[in-house]
Amino acid sequence: MPAVEHPVPANPEPVEAAAPVAAALGAEEKAHFEELVKREAERAEKARQTVARLAAQEKAAQVARAARAVAERQRAEAARQAVAAPEAVVRAGVPQSPGEAVAAAPAMPPKLSVEQACANTSNFIARDLCRIDACRAAGNARDPICVWYRRLEEERRNRLAN
């Protein structure tokens, strides 16, 4: 079926819809109609204000999220740089070169043996407990004290089993 075209005037005149309705109504009905129009205008204004407030809140939330994202990226970059150059300290106002920072980084302290780690304990009971705890670490499995403790434990189990 072909579409029906309705002619549209070139300069349509504004039609005042409320005027004919208001003329046909009595004074009381007219006042009621005006009150309804006024209430609807107030509701529309309140809705516009709410939409504007929500838009402002959303924009503020977006700005806050963007600021947090930038701060997080900066923290991550600072952490990456700290890991890459742990001794990158500014000396006399002139930053070090990356090669100099790596060369200036102190070597890791040598790993202490179980005996050295527990040397500062106050008495022989605390020293033995410290040694037992230190021997639980996987890195100390070949320490002579840990080997000796494992041998004692194995002998004790064998005695109890027999």
18, pLDDT greater than 90: no
Helix/strand/coil for 91 = strand
DSSP annotation of 88: -
Dihedral of alpha carbons 141, 144, 150, 153, sign = negative
% of the chain residues with pLDDT over 70: 69
Helix/strand/coil for 151 = helix
Separation of alpha carbons 49 and 133, rounded Å: 68
* 123-153 confidence digits (pLDDT tens): 889 998 999 999 998 888 899 999 999 999 9
Separation of alpha carbons 93 and 95, rounded Å: 7
Query: What pLDDT sits at residue 92?
Result: 47
Query: What pLDDT sits at residue 82?
Result: 73
43, pLDDT greater than 90: yes
* 55-85 confidence digits (pLDDT tens): 888 888 888 888 888 888 888 888 777 776 6
